[in-house]
Chains A and B, each alone.
Chain A
Amino acid sequence: MIVAVASGKGGTGKTTVSASLASVWDKGVTAVDLDVEEPNLHLFLKPEISGSAPANLETPVADESLCNLCRACSHFCQYKAITVMGKILMIFPEMCHGCGGCIAGCPQKALSAGSRELGEILWGKSGKIDFLMGRLRVGEAMSPPLMRLVKSRLSEMITVHPTDAIIDCPPGVSCPAINSVMDADVIVLVTEPTPFGFYDFKLAIEAFAPLEKPMGAVINRAGVGENSVYGFCAEKGIPILAEIPYDRAVAEAYSKGLVVAEASERMKTTFLGLAEKIRGLAGGKGAFRA
């Protein structure tokens, strides 16, 4: 089973929930940080990294002796990553999406595959938990191709050594967020009961509903702000899987980089209950499919 932990708004406690769930999960589990722009899961799980690999995107390289400046490539490229200026063919690898179209289409076969570094993929272990993360290189603009590479590494890992997976997804509701929940069996949306949290939660529901996956909500910092989110969930039939009360002790544990579920017995019970409900959702009990 793959569990995607997502949130419309950033900073709602997605990483706290992911780390805590992984720590109480009673079967083999791989914890995955797909928030490659700002990966934080490792700060809590503190894994021992046992391997890493550069993550590259295929970008074109030209053999100038073959290019006759016909401009077929520059007319084709949707991202203005290759162009002819005067008598020079210019390639801007940082704008290239790696579609391979120019390489396949060059009539002179003047282009071949080179690469650009997107970032890196790291893996290891945190106690019994298998760990995997991607980290975008600072200055690199495109996170989705790196996320794809992390996901394919995950498929390899769980094929060789089958476990459940808990994915810490990037915040927001645009394409990186959708891509990260797309292959999950269950989506857990973490929100907080504030006007900002509620607005972004509604956007997330709207974005994820077309995927027709079982979805449930975790209300973090329950007790702050206002309670519109409860009525909304009731009306839409979205089960509330857990409530994490607002508690200075939780905030302090978090600020010290501790896994909240390990900070107190009460929190541990909360997360065990959450894990149980997630399994129920995956099994189709009380599933919300918009």
Chain B
Amino acid sequence: MPEIVILSGKGGTGKTSLTAAFAHLAKNKVLCDLDVDAPDLHLILKPENLETGEFFSGNEAIINQNLCTGCGICRDMCRYGAVSVTNGVFGINPIKCEGCKVCVHFCPAGAVDFPQRHCGQWRVSETRFGAMVHAQLFPGSENSGKLVTLLKRKSKELAKAKGRELIICDGAPGIGCPVISSLSGANLAVAVTEPTPSGRHDLLRVMDLCRHFRLPMGVIVNKWDINGEETALVEDLCAARGVRILGRLPHDPAVTGAMVQGLAVTEFDPAGFGRLVKDVFNEVMDLAGVKQSV
């Protein structure tokens, strides 16, 4: 079952707005928001929650003051600077603690507790465009990619159970852990970029990443008319790398207009900008080998 991940490298290129439009246009699919750190797709899709689960990941160290003798071994051994002393009392900064267990293991007094870390919630919901799997990481939690992996597994199970033929994912920004997790097992990465030096720089890094994981990829140039020369550079870059351009879209206030109304841009402006997005959608489906077009 094809799984398409919409990526951007750089934030703010319009990735989520396009994912929402594809969610509107695609048939017989499951939707998944893998940007668990700052998820926005739900603002357009307005999901009705059917199932919620707690997400735990790793552990965190907490010093039991009744047992601590103040020997300082934990502070000396913690590689992350998470242990500090205030007025002779040893404490662990939860933001810095990586949950590596070193202090737990080496504390001679057995004074360090190591409870599981509650990092967020996952959800399975229904939307006007079909089923959606999403999550919210608690602010400040570690985004290790495990929640992303969990959401991907849930989406697959759901798609199988419902007999859906396609999964469309809104990916995370960047190229680190969450993005690597969002690409694993995917069939196609669609990168949304913009014609700016940052956009091109980040696109190049996403291309390297997809090549590293041998994942087919296509590129959408959004807001191309902000800088035609830079667009040409992006397109040359794609041509040189053998990456297919799925379309270029102009800068259009309809994108923000739709967002403010909580609509997909293809609902908000079906004949104007929405028409252009439909052409891009058809290209995406073609590259993914899915027999759908609008």
Out of B101, B141, B226, name the residue touching A76 (CB < 8 Å). Answer: B101
Asked if A60 CB lies within 8 Å of chain B CBs, one says: no
Q: How many B residues have CB within 8 A of the partner chain?
A: 58
Q: Which of A6-33 contact B (CB under 8 A)?
A: 8-12, 15
* Contact B79 A100, beta carbon cutoff 8 Å: yes
Q: Is B99 positioned at the interface, with any CB of A under 8 Å from its CB?
A: yes
4 additional contacts (CB under 8 A) given A138-B175, A256-B197: A10-B10, A76-B101, A99-B102, A200-B40
Contacting residue for A196 out of B16, B96, B142, B198, CB 8 A: B16
Chain B interfacial positions (CB closer than 8 Å to A)? 8-13, 16, 37-38, 40, 43, 58-59, 77, 79-80, 95-96, 98-102, 105-106, 137, 139-143, 145, 173-177, 180, 194-198, 201-202, 205, 208-209, 212, 226-227, 230, 251, 253, 256, 259-260, 262
A205 (CB) vs chain B CBs: closest residue: B139
B142 engages A37 (CB within 8 Å): no
Q: A9-B12, A174-B141, A225-B260 are in contact. Are A200 and B102 (CB under 8 A)?
A: no
- Contacts known (A251-B226, A255-B226); A43 close to B198, Cβ less than 8 A: yes
Alpha-carbon gap, A139 to B174, bound state (A): 11
State how many angstroms separate the Cβ of B213 from the closest Cβ of chain A: 8
Q: List 10 A-B contacts (CB under 8 A).
A: A8-B38, A9-B12, A9-B38, A11-B10, A99-B101, A139-B212, A175-B143, A204-B139, A224-B253, A224-B256
Enumerate chain A residues within 8 angstroms of B43, measured Cβ to Cβ. Answer: 195-196, 199
Q: Mark A171-189, 1 if CB is under 8 A from B, else 0.
A: 1111110110010000000
Bound together, the chains give a CA A139 to CA B175 distance in angstroms of 8
Min CB–CB distance A254 → chain B (angstroms) = 6
Q: Is the CB–CB distance between A178 and B79 below 8 Å?
A: no
CA–CA, A221 to B278, complex, Å? 27
Contact A40 B10 (CB under 8 A): yes
Which residues of A in the span 187-220 have a Cβ within 8 Å of any Cβ on B? 192, 194-196, 199-200, 203-204, 206-207, 210
Alpha-carbon distance A97/B177, docked complex (angstroms): 13
| Residues of A that sit less than 8 Å from B by CB | 8-12, 15, 37-38, 40, 43-44, 58, 76, 78-79, 97-101, 104-105, 136, 138-144, 148, 170-176, 178-179, 182, 192, 194-196, 199-200, 203-204, 206-207, 210, 224-226, 248, 251-252, 254-257
Main secondary structure of the interface of B (DSSP, over half): loop
Alpha-carbon distance between A88 and B40 when the two chains are bound, in angstroms = 46
Whole-angstrom distance between the Cβ of A56 and the nearest chain B Cβ: 13
**In the complex, residue of chain A having the shortest beta-carbon distance to the beta carbon of B94:** A210
B residues near A144, Cβ cutoff 8 Å: 98
Taking a contact as CB atoms under 8 Å apart, the answer to whether A40 and B79 are in contact is no
Q: Which residues of B contact A248 (CB under 8 A)?
A: 226
Contact A38 B40 (CB under 8 A): no
Assess the A199–B198 pair: CB atoms within 8 A: no
Name the B residues within 8 Å of A254 (CB-CB).
196
Interface residue from A9, A15, A140, A194 paired with B198 (Cβ < 8 Å): A15
Q: Which of B43, B196, B227 has the most CB of A within 10 A?
A: B196
B residues near A199, Cβ cutoff 8 Å: 38, 40, 43
**How many angstroms from the CA of A141 to the CA of B180 in the assembled complex?**
7
CB nearest neighbor in B for A192: B12
Chain A contacts of B174 at CB under 8 A? 37-38, 143, 170-171
Query: Is A40 a contact of B12 with CB atoms below 8 Å?
Result: no
